[in-house]
Amino acid sequence: MRLYKVNFELQGVLIFSTEVRPMISGGQAMGSYIAPLPYIHNYPVIYGILGKTAEAYFVIPSMHQADYEERKGKTPSLKYTTIEGVLRNAKEGKGFYVFPLLPRKIITSSFLMSAESWSYGLLTRMPTKNVFPRLTSYTAFTPQSEFYTYLVSDDYFEIPKWIRIGKKRWGIMKVEAEELEVKDIKEEENCTTSIPINVKDTEYFGYKVLNSAKVLETPSLEEGMIAWATLDKCYTVNTRGYEKPSLPIPPGFLR
């Protein structure tokens, strides 16, 4: 097993619609306000590391609704074949697995997007499809924002130097991976993780979540909730530096 501490430095504008609220100014509705949370789900990072533009992330939003009871049988479900393959291989100790990203330094900027002209007189037209807001105010992560996480891999996997994630793939990130020299790995019971984890992935790897505090959840139930968590067990990795992360490492990498 190889363990890396990976730093991601943002080189573009990164938009994640993690919170959407109505925007009101002077008592008047002005469209929607979209702001991100300072955590990044590990699935878009997996797609970025593999060089895929998308599979089930930022595609037709209505397809996420197929996960809900009232939509079953009416809308085709998204297929997470790439993610399933990565998780299956990681469970067997092949390929890689990356945990969700935490913020190290956040720089944001707000801007307005308009779906209509700004002349003194507006022409009457038919409503846009899907009740698309004509005015949307964004708060987005901007260049020099930094995130970090841990990544485990086999001896053959190479981490790319650049990835692209987020809306329209604007989120270009420079990737710097520091390999941590592992001295020993200790199993601990009732262990609190060093970083937020994907609850669904963790349970797939055979761990039991005893307690959790959610930090991020996407519209798709299949993507898993990101949370700080206490597990029935996890592994503390002692390295030759100051790093001693406690992680739910996929079992295949422990053999």
pLDDT in tens, 223-248: 889 999 999 999 999 998 888 999 99
CA distances from 59 to 77, 105, 183 (A): 12, 29, 43
* Residue 232 within any structural domain of the chain: no
Parallel, antiparallel, or unpaired: how do β-strands 171-180 and 2-10 relate? Answer: antiparallel
Burial of residue 153 (CB within 10 Å: 0-12, 13-18, 19+) is buried
* Residue 89 within any structural domain of the chain: yes
pLDDT at site 73: 57
Give the Cα separation of 68 and 76 in Å (integer). Answer: 12
Parallel, antiparallel, or unpaired: how do β-strands 135-141 and 28-35 relate? Answer: parallel
* Residue 237 within any structural domain of the chain: no
pLDDT at site 72: 56
* Residue 138 within any structural domain of the chain: yes
Count CB-CB contacts under 10 A for residue 63.
17
Most confident of 131-140, 172-181, 215-224: 172-181
Q: What is the pLDDT of residues 25-63, one digit of tens each?
A: 677 766 778 888 899 999 989 999 998 866 544 444 444
* Residue 37 within any structural domain of the chain: yes
Q: What is the pLDDT of residues 165-185, one digit of tens each?
A: 876 778 899 999 999 999 999
**Confidence grade of residue 116 (pLDDT, cut at 50, 70, 90):** low
Q: Are 39 and 225 in contact (CB under 8 A)?
A: no
pLDDT at site 136: 76
- pLDDT at residue 143 tops 80: yes
* Residue 110 within any structural domain of the chain: yes
* Residue 95 within any structural domain of the chain: yes
Tally of domains within the chain:
1
Parallel, antiparallel, or unpaired: how do β-strands 182-192 and 226-239 relate? Answer: antiparallel
Count CB-CB contacts under 10 A for residue 74.
9
> How many residues in the chain?
255
Parallel, antiparallel, or unpaired: how do β-strands 28-35 and 197-198 relate? Answer: unpaired
Identify the domain containing residue 161 by its residue range. Answer: 2-182
pLDDT at site 62: 46
pLDDT at site 154: 94
* Residue 81 within any structural domain of the chain: yes
| DSSP, res 121 | S
